[in-house]
Homo-oligomer: A and B are copies of this chain.
Amino acid sequence: MWKRWILSLIKPSNADRNFHTSKILQEAKLIDGKKIAGEILQEVKQSVDSWVQSGMRRPKLVAILVGEDPASTTYVNNKMKAAKSVGIDSETILCPYDVAQAALIERIQLYNVDPLVDGVLVQLPLPKGINEKEICHAVTPSKDVDGFHSENIGNLSSDKKGIVPATALGVKELIIRTKVETFGKNAVVIGRSKHVGLPIALLLHADGNGETGALDMTTTICHRHTSHVELKKFTILADVLVAAAGVPGLVTKDMVKPGACVIDVGITRVKDARGKFKLTGDVDFDGVKQVAGHITPVPGGVGPMTVAILMQNTLFAAKRNQQNK
């Protein structure tokens, strides 16, 4: 009798084994960015179709690519492919790597006033010697489908409906469509860039009843000057953790609250052991998936969402510009 009791303390019972198995099965659910982006593209396609059927002009997007950086070329090609798939006309303008800033701005201004163009984007990063901030502000706000112009950021900050930076809106859509609870919950954004980190924080913290339909989360912005010790104090409290630092593997398992939704915006090209490049996120995926409730992969998470939202933004700009005429 005693022996049996002692053995039961050592040998796991069936119940224990089931518990153990179920724990392994309770790995984070993968957030399939490619699939959700596909749904959004489908929605945009339907809207474009009805827009054109109602007699309006088909939206047109112009992308300006400076130089021949392979990553930038791939990104622009993906955007043009997506445009084609939803019925948005598109054109890629290639500029030489050594284009002068003034010439680039002149080119942008041509499209700013072209009544047949609805959206203009300049693929970043730009070569050294060109001021990205000035280039982003050269695109007229009403055609700035990237949402980088301070007028568009200002509208977002002031809770006025407008064009929202595509990656930020993509992150919000991923969270909403995954049905993660956000109201009054805690969010952490790692990264404070003006194009990604900050607009994400704006969409997470603000009023859900406002024009921008934000998520009402208590929101912490961490950045390069947040020490690792302090960073963990915040990430461990986060129900939604968005990593947008561009530091491969920054977020590890021990930093994540069990059940949290982890969104990885980081995309860094890293050389693997065999000298081949691969895309790596800010999140240690294999470790973090053991504690998180939901997690995005890299690639296939936020990336496709950015492209899909860009199409949504182009349609939004086209409708607003054509209706305001």
CA distance A201 to B226 in the complex (A): 15
User: Smallest Cβ distance from A288 to chain B, in angstroms?
Assistant: 21
List residues of A (66-108) whose CB comes within 8 Å of B's CBs.
Answer: none
Quick one: which of B157, B192, B219 contacts A153, CB cutoff 8 A?
A: B157
19 contacts between A and B (CB under 8 A): A150-B151, A150-B157, A150-B158, A151-B151, A152-B154, A153-B154, A154-B154, A154-B157, A157-B157, A183-B225, A184-B225, A192-B205, A201-B221, A216-B223, A218-B226, A218-B230, A219-B221, A220-B220, A220-B234
List residues of A (131-159) whose CB comes within 8 Å of B's CBs.
Answer: 133, 149-159
Chain B residues closer than 8 Å to A194, beta-carbon distance: 157-159
User: Smallest Cβ distance from A32 to chain B, in angstroms?
Assistant: 29
User: Smallest Cβ distance from A148 to chain B, in angstroms?
Assistant: 8
Chain B residues closer than 8 Å to A234, beta-carbon distance: 218, 220, 237
Chain B residues closer than 8 Å to A202, beta-carbon distance: 157
Q: Quick one: copies of this chain in the complex? A: 2
User: Smallest Cβ distance from A227 to chain B, in angstroms?
Assistant: 6
Chain B residue nearest in CB terms to A194? B158
CA distance A223 to B218 in the complex (A): 7
CA distance A283 to B222 in the complex (A): 26
Chain B residues closer than 8 Å to A201, beta-carbon distance: 221
Chain B residue nearest in CB terms to A188? B220
Cβ of A317 < 8 Å from any Cβ of B? no
